[in-house]
Structure 1
Amino acid sequence: MFDFDFDALRRIGWNDRLADALATAFTCCDAAAAASLRLLRLTEVHRDRLVADDGHASFGVRALPAFERTLRFEDAVLAVGDWVLARKDAHRNAWIEARLAPRRAITRRDADGRRHAIVSHVDTALFVMGLDADFNPRRIERYLLLAPPGVQPVVVLTKADLVAPDPQVREAMVADERDALLARLGGGLPVVSVDATSPSAALVLAPWLEPGHTLVLLGSSGAGKSTLTNALLARREQDTGAVRVRDLRGQHTTTARSLHRLPGGACVIDTPGLRALRPDVDADTLARSFDDIDRLAPRCRFRDCTHDREPGCAVRDGVDADRLRNFHKLRRELGRDTMTALDRRRRAEWAFSGRQGAERARAKRGER
């Protein structure tokens, strides 16, 4: 039905699961121009330019004005990893006419609550965290909320060489950190440690590097994402930089997302660190990410237990206390994100009334 070079497209992540999405997108294009359509994958998305790959080479593309209007109407944007249909005009410029429906897309919310796509069509999300000052279990729990159903989350610990100078001591300390994180996260999540500067990282991550699979690296600045990308590529392609000496924090060496072909047939998307992370989640996603809490909740004495101060709470007895505090914090954030403008106004009015009542009570008691 389609005259595309699928062997070449598999080098950039094409797989047979996308066939139905391709058929749907194909019907949205002009029939007279169908023969000249090309199937491409976006490898870079910048404010002023797009870069795509057809499995043979990368080149610049642009979106047709009509397609841009469609995106604005849908309140959507193009993202790295998107599959698009494009054609070249008489001047050899490639124009995007349609895209395949984004699947397994990773999104987040900005400060205004609007959704933004980070990447799309990914199979595995590698959440990278350094074993130096970057190590923060609460942050990794927040990052894990980004993984939608169908995307395999994997925690990757880097910078083991900074834990201790002695190899045996270092190996034992890394194992302890890994086991503690496994226990905190419930034990059902893959947690691996790698030397991001060594080709051995590809061997550790081999179970997720199958041909046709797409991985995305997510984590804070300075966690070692670009260094790990270079290790998987077996060449230096991404710029890397040292962390700041004064606080050991990353310095945003990577400034844009980019998709790269790996030697074994998989693809990896490198991403810059996120300064502010607000996952685009609902109550079901939160429960799925904290499934250990969800499993223990039916054992609580009270059916409506909030796992805070109630007696007979099985969750408090069985879940790491700091993990539970993080769960409560994320649930409060979720509640704020799902509030309507009217709800926020009423909440502000109730808070104002509460403060006034407290002031009147203090005045009656003669307190200032």
Structure 2
Amino acid sequence: MFDTIDFQTLRGIGLTQGLVAQMFNLQTEAGDRLMRVVEVQRDRLRLHDGVNERVAQVWPTLRLALQMQGEVLVVGDWVAARTGGDLGDSLWAAARVPPVNHLVRRDSSGQRQTLVSNVDTALLVMGAGQDFNLRRLDRYLALVRLAGVSPLVVLSKADLCTDPRARIDAVRRHTSDGVDVLALNGLDAASADALAPWLSEGQTLVLLGSSGAGKSTLTNRLTGAAQDTGGVRHGDEHGRHTTTARSLHRCASGACIIDTPGLRGLQLDADEAQLDEVFEDISSLAPLCRFRDCQHQDEPGCAVRSAVPAGRLLSYHKLQREARRHEMTVFDKHKLLSEWKTRGREAKAVSRGKRG
């Protein structure tokens, strides 16, 4: 535990009482300081103490401990920082404060990847124009709810949409669980006023969404940062990918914003039971179906199909299939692949037979 903690100063970069409670069993040394990770580079970190930023390295013992757990330091983590080592006054991240929460996905190889830690609210940014995609939104909502993080749907580029109110209504009908939704223009100063209730001192927010959705533009508006942004492509209003690394920025209100690159693919780190919990609107209706093992597809007397939007039900089925694949053993995957190949050969044989 640290000898002293300047709570008021550190609150300006997101320290909360919940995080303080996580520190009681932390192994520290005299002179260690509590600092937050605001950016991660290949072999360097940028740490903030509430007043200044400094470049640091990861203490070898901590690096090894994290590797054994299959983890790494990410933006939003809190660490015990100390000066010393072979380079004299160089700064080191020596211990990590156990995170209150973290957003985790699976990468293209199926490995778990932590995106950010210690977040209060996730701003799910989606263009109100042609980027509008409710099934993609389902995936992001599941990601943050699995972590116990509150979502706020932000429909960006509202100035390019002919009817933003209709888009808001569409999100509310689709999610049907009272999720907060805002439509705004990130270039407009009024966007900061609209988001003010979520930007109180000590709060940490993360911006998530596809490339070019307007996350960096919104970050610049809220924090006064000067990150590169790109215009939209003519014809389909698709934005250009500009952010390449996650980074934490401070707002004048005392809140912190973590900007993130667009995720090209978002596979969830969840099993079927966890998905049932985050799709509560579906799981709560399932007991009302006529059949106990109803799959909510074409069975008669299904209480879910009649109450849940078809697109959301499709999202649920697809994510459940992905979860089952993640839980399969290598043997199971080879067996399933063999079955698919056999069915493919049979289909081709039937097709050849029809052609004579």
**Fold in common (TM above 0.5):** yes
Map of 1:167 onto structure 2: none
What is the distance in 1 between the residues matched to 2:259 and 2:112? 20
Aligned pairs (5 A) from 1:143-292: 143-147=140-144, 148-164=146-162, 173-233=163-223, 235-245=224-234, 247-292=236-281
- Work out the percentage of aligned pairs sharing the same amino acid: 46
What is the distance in 2 between the residues matched to 1:338 and 1:205? 39
What letter is aligned with 2:206?
V
Map of 1:170 onto structure 2: none
Q: Return the offset for 1:247.
A: 4.0
Question: Residue 94 in 1 paired to residue 95 in 2?
Answer: no
Q: Write out per-residue CA displacement over residues 327-348 of structure 1, whole angstroms, 9 at most, x where no aligned residue.
A: 2111111111121112112222
What is the distance in 2 between the residues matched to 1:355 and 1:163? 44
What is the distance in 1 between the residues matched to 2:18 and 2:272? 28
Of 61, 66, 69, 1:66 maps to 61
Paired residue secondary structure (1:138): helix
Of 334, 340, 343, 2:323 maps to 334
Question: Residue 134 in 1 paired to residue 134 in 2?
Answer: no
Question: Residue 52 in 1 paired to residue 47 in 2?
Answer: yes
Paired residue secondary structure (1:240): coil
Aligned residues: 352
Paired residue secondary structure (1:12): coil
Change (3 A) 1:249 1:367: same
Q: Write out per-residue CA displacement over residues 164-193 of structure 1, whole angstroms, 9 at most, x where no aligned residue.
A: 3xxxxxxxx211110121011014211111
Worse-matched range after superposition: 322-331 or 41-50: 322-331
Q: Return the offset for 1:19.
A: 1.9
Paired residue secondary structure (1:316): coil
Structure 2 residue runs of 5 or longer lacking an equivalent are none
Q: Return the offset for 1:237.
A: 2.3
Q: Is the 8 A contact 2:43 2:57 kept in 1?
A: no
Per the normalisation by structure 2, the TM-score is 0.93
Q: Is the 8 A contact 1:126 1:154 kept in 2?
A: yes
What is the distance in 2 between the residues matched to 1:360 and 1:326? 33
Q: Return the offset for 1:75.
A: 1.1
What is the distance in 1 between the residues matched to 2:54 and 2:325? 42
Map of 2:19 onto structure 1: 18
Q: Write out per-residue CA displacement over residues 298-319 of structure 1, whole angstroms, 9 at most, x where no aligned residue.
A: 1211111001111111111111
Question: Residue 77 in 1 paired to residue 75 in 2?
Answer: no
Q: Is the 8 A contact 1:108 1:279 kept in 2?
A: yes
What is the distance in 2 between the residues matched to 1:62 and 1:176? 49
Paired residue secondary structure (1:183): helix
Question: Residue 119 in 1 paired to residue 119 in 2?
Answer: no
Q: Return the offset for 1:288.
A: 2.9
Structure 1 residue runs of 5 or longer lacking an equivalent are 165-172
Q: Is the 8 A contact 1:145 1:285 kept in 2?
A: no
Q: Write out per-residue CA displacement over residues 135-179 of structure 1, whole angstroms, 9 at most, x where no aligned residue.
A: 111111111111134310110111111113xxxxxxxx2111101
What is the distance in 1 between the residues matched to 2:234 and 2:75? 32
Per the normalisation by structure 1, the TM-score is 0.90
Q: Return the offset for 1:24.
A: 1.9
Change (3 A) 1:252 1:361: closer
Q: Is the 8 A contact 1:230 1:237 kept in 2?
A: yes
Q: Quote the RMSD (CA, aligned, Å).
A: 2.0
Paired residue secondary structure (1:345): helix
